[in-house]
A = this chain, B = another copy of it.
Amino acid sequence: MRQSQLFTKTRKEAPADEVSKNAQLLLRAGYIYKNMAGAYSFLPLGLRVIEKINAIIREEMNAIGGQEVHMPSLQEPTLWKKSDRWDDDKVDVWFKSNLRAGGEVGFAWTHEEVITELMRQYISSYKDLPLYPYQIQTKFRNETRAKSGIMRTREFWMKDLYSFSATEEEHNKFYEAAALAYKRIFDRIGIGDKTYRTFASGGAFTKFSHEFQTLCEAGEDIVYVNEVKGIAVNEEVLAEADLSELGITKEELEKRKSIEVGNIFSLGTKFSEALGLMYKDENGEEKPVIMGSYGIGPARAMGTVVELLSDEKGIVWPEAVAPFKVHLVGLNGDDDEVRDYTDGIYLAMKERGVEVLYDDRDARAGEKFADSDLLGIPYRVVVSRKTKEEGKFEVVTRATGEVRHLTEEELYADFDNDENT
């Protein structure tokens, strides 16, 4: 894409009311726009990042048997009264409104009730199980305080997968598969090394549930972690559980701030019993379906990447989620011959399928480099009069600052051979 046509622009300063690093950098670079406290727009570059994250999530969910659906936000009270999650006394994050045709409606903050009711139509026998529907869909939550930039908002995408199993064994097997898929997702988007599968309280059905917590000073959560043993627990578990089960003592755990980037939860038969989702087992006996839920917020993941992978100059996107792989920065564009030459390189890259943002703007080199650092695209390729004369391209790797000088052939070979795209 030609940067001269991109409608967003960078800005030197973030708005004064924006305190979180992720929002500051994303706003300055033009990835997002703040509409109100807790509600952001995703602009062309920002939406590209979200779509990359979503594509990784979809791949991993499909690989473990996920089937994508899309459920509505609008909710009538009926279902939620059955599970006792309609009253504001019980759930304090509802946005509620009224139908002009009469009756209350709510805007879904989660979808356990909805998917359970839906699956009643399709599950009647053990032969129908297991099933793993999921969606990437917008949730609304009436948070009292919306802070932490795009990491805690009142409206956000969520990937929510729900598992439906006949037996505990079947459930546990999938639960582990989902945990491994989550690990792959966080590895692929570049935050795997800081992300711990953290033991959390399990509720009535299982001893533990699991949060995926990413160590980060900007986090709102606290975990207790042993980085050598690779074990983390949350505060509840630290206070209540017998840590010896986990092969660790309190003394070995260090208190750290963290971001909850995902969670997986065994729901047992809570919702299937409340809403009557039963199946007949091999002996014809009616039993409630065993359920689990598995959540990831793509925008929170994006915010976490920015918090962890940025420096004083701007964002440092990992290749897998970067809006473009290459930032082609054209200099000496006032010289028609240089400009034509640079246009040619841009078109050659596009033809080879390289995702490239081409800075063809009429601006000073210093401004272009500063913008390029702020945007954080993994490879910057500079084309100038000198390049044209010498046939060597300056290639700067954003993450390391490494500078290479490559011929046109070497340049294409480099981007073709890269396995990370």
Are A105 and B101 in touch, CB under 8 angstroms? no
Are B72 and A44 in touch, CB under 8 angstroms? no
> Which one of B33, B128, B140 contacts A74 once the chains associate, using CB atoms below 8 Å?
B140
Task: Map CB proximity to B onto A43-84 as digits: 1 under 8 Å, 0 otherwise.
Answer: 110010010000000000000010111111111100000000
Tell me the minimal C-beta distance from A291 to chain B in angstroms. Answer: 14
**Chain B, Cβ-Cβ closest to A72:** B39
**CB-CB under 8 A for A39 and B7, given A47-B69, A121-B33, A142-B99:** no
Q: How far is the CA of A144 from the CA of B5 in the complex (A)?
A: 42
Q: Is A107 part of the binding interface, using a Cβ–Cβ cutoff of 8 Å?
A: yes
Contacts of A100 in B (CB 8 A): 92, 142-144
Tell me the minimal C-beta distance from A324 to chain B in angstroms. Answer: 14
Number of A residues near B (Cβ < 8 Å) is: 55
Are A73 and B121 in touch, CB under 8 angstroms? no
Q: Is A145 part of the binding interface, using a Cβ–Cβ cutoff of 8 Å?
A: yes
Q: Is A97 part of the binding interface, using a Cβ–Cβ cutoff of 8 Å?
A: yes
Contacts of A154 in B (CB 8 A): 74, 99
Q: Is A35 part of the binding interface, using a Cβ–Cβ cutoff of 8 Å?
A: yes
Are B142 and A35 in touch, CB under 8 angstroms? no
Q: How far is the CA of A9 from the CA of B127 in the complex (A)?
A: 13
Contacts of A70 in B (CB 8 A): 41-42, 47, 50
**Chain B, Cβ-Cβ closest to A122:** B7
Tell me the minimal C-beta distance from A302 to chain B in angstroms. Answer: 12
Within 8 A of B (CB), among A115-134: 118-119, 121-122, 128, 131, 133
Contacts of A146 in B (CB 8 A): 101
Tell me the minimal C-beta distance from A37 to chain B in angstroms. Answer: 8
Contacts of A37 in B (CB 8 A): 101
- Can you identify 29 A-B contacts, CB atoms within 8 angstroms? A5-B65, A6-B67, A7-B119, A8-B122, A9-B122, A33-B121, A35-B71, A35-B74, A35-B75, A35-B114, A35-B118, A36-B105, A41-B69, A41-B71, A41-B72, A41-B118, A42-B70, A43-B69, A47-B69, A47-B70, A73-B138, A74-B154, A92-B100, A95-B105, A97-B107, A97-B142, A99-B154, A100-B144, A107-B107
Binding site for B on A (CB under 8 A): 5-9, 33, 35-44, 47, 50, 65, 67-76, 92, 95-97, 99-101, 105, 107, 114, 118-119, 121-122, 128, 131, 133, 138, 140, 142-146, 154-155
